[in-house]
Amino acid sequence: MIWSFALVLAGCPARGGGEVGADEVGSESGSEDGTTTDTETDTGPGTTETETGTETDAGAETEGEALVANAGPDRYAFVDDTVELDASASTGAALYHWDFGDGTAAPEPSDSPVASHSYAEPGRYYPVLTVYDGEGSSLADSFALTITHVPSHAPRVAGSVAAEPSLDAVAVVEADASALTLVTRAVAEDEDAFELIARHPTCAGPRSLGLHAAGEGGAEAAGGWIACPEVDQIQPFDWDAGPGAARTLPWGSRPSAALRVGSRVFAALAGKGQLAVLEDGSDSFVFHDGFPDARGLALWPDGRVAVTRWRSDPDAGAGVGELRLFDPESAAVELVTLAYDPQPASDTEIGGVPTYLDQLLVSPIGDAAAVPSLQANVLHGEYINGETLTFETTVRAVVSFLVLGEADGMGQVPGAENFDLRKQFDNRGFAAAGVYSSRGDYLFAAMRGSRAIERYDTLTGSGAGTILNAGYAPSGLALSPDDRHLYVHVGLERELRVFDVTSFDALPMAIAAVATVDAEPLAAQVLRGKQLFNDSFDPRLAKHGYIACAHCHLDGESDRQTWDFTDRGEGLRNTISLLGRGGTAHGPVHWSANFDEIQDFEHDIRGPFGGLGLLSEEDWGAGTVATSLGDPKAGLSEDLDALAAYVESLDSYPRSPARTAEGELSAQAQAGAVLFASAELGCVDCHLGPALTDSAWIGPMTPLLHDVGTITEASGQRLGEPLTGLDTPTLRGLWNDPPFLHDGSAIDLSAVLGAANPDDLHGTTSSLSPAELDALVAYLLSLEGPP
């Protein structure tokens, strides 16, 4: 008689260890040859692993009870704790034998069902119980025992959604609606309920929030701080009273995250490249420089504040991801980098630089931190290395891991990245956010374009389950205190969705959803277009879930990367921001003016994205529709028109941090404005009118192009033909769009007007004094939306 058993790892209990309550399901089936199969499954929060064993039974029946081996339910325990292994639920046994599963010597069989053991290292262990009756028969059973260190860190990180353990509640911000939604969980035996506490208006365009507990510094009640970059404000709130009076920062600060730590509130200022600190009892911020493109905030275990750099440094050669650790007491700053991955591309992994760094997630154990991001394969392409970028070699979702604690004696520096642990996710383009389980043994990562949530086993370094079709662009994750419920912010569906993640035996499905808006803030067509812009799950848009429009233009901005598009009949092309351009409001699209309508992005969708296309095959094949600048595509597809409508809605520029605190031109910039307008320099010959561009069509399929002396061999072609000139880009919002020039070869504007302009083809700037050049640059960096 053959017995087999399947054991599924139960999830994480509340702190303190012990057994996790679970439902056990058993089944027994027989075959004609007398073989019997018995399967036991134990499910609980966090279930993912299954182990199967077989045992031969010479005769299960003894006098009295039948011989049954029962090792008990799956459990958690801490390193070096004494774990009691109890087989008392077994029946018909005369002797019990335990193999502890960690390689140590097993004790001899005993008539006692109980054995004790301690485990020296974290891991997932599978102790095996063998029971014997008095007739020479035996049976075996096992259970999953997860060993972790004792949690020592209470994670604190800014994001679009966060959970407050003390209240068993969740807060989420919705940028398009300028709203804060508070939700509570009511745990019941029959069914948990998720109820709206309140929905409050906030400062305009909230991007993230950071929570704090009651008694944190000067905070009497549990609450948090909201960051609103488009209006340069941060705003406090508490769970009872809602939002308080917003604090306004200098013009163009663009706070992307705010977080209270002790008696201080920290704000990451993306525009200014600063970290702002507000002390309890003070109305004035203290500003610390040296945080370029600041994005996310998190509490480091030693009390420092971690600040991520959103986009990788374009001046770092191959590029590296960056984050900085700020010491609130000494104001010292430590730079931590995420390495460029030099490996060649394949269908499972790519090289590239980690970018779009937002959240830094510190494990509750305090021994590791994870950074979800996108890896951009920018040193790959037909011109750069002779290899054409494909749908699966351009971008890929990754999570990079930092090892905290002490040196391991193997060259690992405390606080630095362990590059060998970097995880690439197949068929995923961008890991946007994440959350650790309460014992740090699982990491959940939101795959924004793919509409998926991946669960990663940090103890084994392997995938441990997936939530599919979680909703458009999941951008924030939080877990309930017992690790039972995963909260997923799907902002483009205006919902906070709740998934029961106690088991991944079956595909987890949403068990509840709470609306995050009272009424839809966008026009229906624009919302639909925004969903499509951010999506890579729809096979019409992309193949295998890798590339979305937003993966190069997240939030409508630029990824600040330069890509090799030689295979597209172009060349090296620097990504530009879409903000303020209003689609085709400035005329032709792209550096080479190769599109005359936003609907022409159907070519990218069907080409580099690998998608099937939003147009029908009949429409695509009609006339010259399949040709860029050919017959119009507008009006042929509702979804393609919606995509264009969203891009056209991006008609506002962000505030410039180069202006005064009140938003005025500085004296230096005013002097630069005079130079800019002078006939001698010639800037306004091309950069004229409200949009500061002469971009236009001067004939059918014929754009106005200029050769300003920056075209090189790497510049490639235009639509597969010689590149004779470039479209004039607007200068508005220039401060937010480095690097500069079509090939990204100028790291700053001084280089554009100096080293890249030796023959004065790009304005007569060679005669400017250093002070005049600085003034002109100051003016250009101050340009934002038209008055």
> Is there a single domain that holds both residue 554 and residue 683?
no
State the burial class of residue 63 (Cβ atoms within 10 Å of its Cβ: 0-12, 13-18, 19+): exposed
**pLDDT single digits (tens) 497-528:** 999 999 999 999 999 999 999 999 999 999 99
End-to-end CA distance of the chain: 85
pLDDT digits 0-9 by tens, 118-160: 999 999 999 999 999 989 899 999 999 999 999 999 999 999 9
Confidence at residue 34, expressed as pLDDT on a 0 to 100 scale: 35
For the CA atoms of the chain, what is the radius of gyration? 30
CATH number assigned to the domain comprising residue 117 = 2.60.40.10
Which of 585, 619, 648 delimits the end of a domain? 648
One domain, residues 129 and 214: no
Q: 393: pLDDT confidence band, cut at 50, 70 and 90?
A: very high
One domain, residues 39 and 76: yes
Distances (CA, A) of 638 to 499, 615, 632: 32, 9, 14
What are 248's two structure tokens? 């306004």
pLDDT, tens digit (0-9, with 9 covering 90-100), for 15-60: 233 333 333 333 333 333 333 333 333 333 343 333 333 344 433 3
Q: What CATH number has the domain bearing residue 252?
A: 2.130.10.10
The Cα-based distances of 517 to 180, 490, 492, 662, 715 in angstroms read 9, 12, 11, 32, 46
For residue range 562-615, list pLDDT tens digits in order.
999 999 999 999 999 999 999 999 999 999 999 999 999 999 999 999 999 999
Residue 480, domain member (yes or no): no
* Residue range 414-445, pLDDT digits in tens: 789 999 999 999 999 999 999 999 999 999 99
676 with 631, same domain: the answer is no
CA distance 398 to 138: 47
Q: How many CB atoms lie within 10 A of CB 582?
A: 16
DSSP readout, 117-159? Answer: EE-SS-EEE--EEEEE-TTS-EEEEE--EEEEPPP-----B-B
Whether residue 187 sits in one domain with residue 118: no
Phi-psi region of 766 (alpha: psi -120 to 50; beta: other; left: phi over 0): alpha
Spatial distance between the Cα atoms of 478 and 435, rounded to a whole number of angstroms? 6
* Residues 573, 743 contacting (CB under 8 angstroms): yes
Q: What is the pTM of this model?
A: 0.90
Same domain, 136 and 162: no
Pairwise CA distance, residues 598 & 602, whole Å: 9
258 located within any domain: yes
- Has residue 565 been placed in a domain? yes
Examine the domain organization and report whether 80 and 144 are in the same domain.
Answer: yes
143 and 160 co-located in one domain:
no
Same domain, 109 and 40: yes
Residue 53 inside a domain? The answer is yes
Residue where a domain terminates, one of 148, 176, 195: 148
Whether residue 224 is found in the same domain as residue 253: yes
HSE-up (13 A, CA, CB side) for residue 208: 28
Same domain, 140 and 157: no
Tokens of 225: 């701080």
Could you tell me if 196 and 182 are in contact, meaning their C-beta atoms sit under 8 angstroms apart? yes
Asked whether 510 and 498 are in contact (CB, 8 A), the reply is yes
Flag whether 467 is in a domain. Answer: no
pLDDT at 408: 53
The total number of structural domains in the chain stands at 4
Query: Could you tell me if 183 and 195 are in contact, meaning their C-beta atoms sit under 8 angstroms apart?
Result: yes
Distance of alpha carbon 624 from the chain centroid: 39
- Whether residue 654 is contained in a domain is answered as no
Give how far the C-alpha of residue 337 lies from the chain's centroid of Cα atoms, to the nearest Å: 17
Q: Residue 768: give its domain's CATH number.
A: 1.10.760.10
Residue 273, domain member (yes or no): yes
Which amino acid is it at 421? Answer: L
Mean pLDDT, the chain, whole residue set: 91
Final residue before a domain boundary, out of 119, 148, 177:
148
Q: Is residue 700 part of a domain?
A: no
**Domain carrying residue 69:** 2-148
Residues 547 and 609 in one domain: yes
| Spatial CA neighbour of 182 closest among 155, 165, 206, 164 | 164
Which residues, 6+ apart, have CB-to-CB distance to 263 below 8 Å? 217, 218, 279, 280
Q: Which of 312-321, 499-508, 758-767 has the lowest mean pLDDT?
A: 312-321
Count of beta carbons in the 10 Å neighbourhood of residue 68: 15
State the amino acid at position 199 in one-letter form. Answer: R
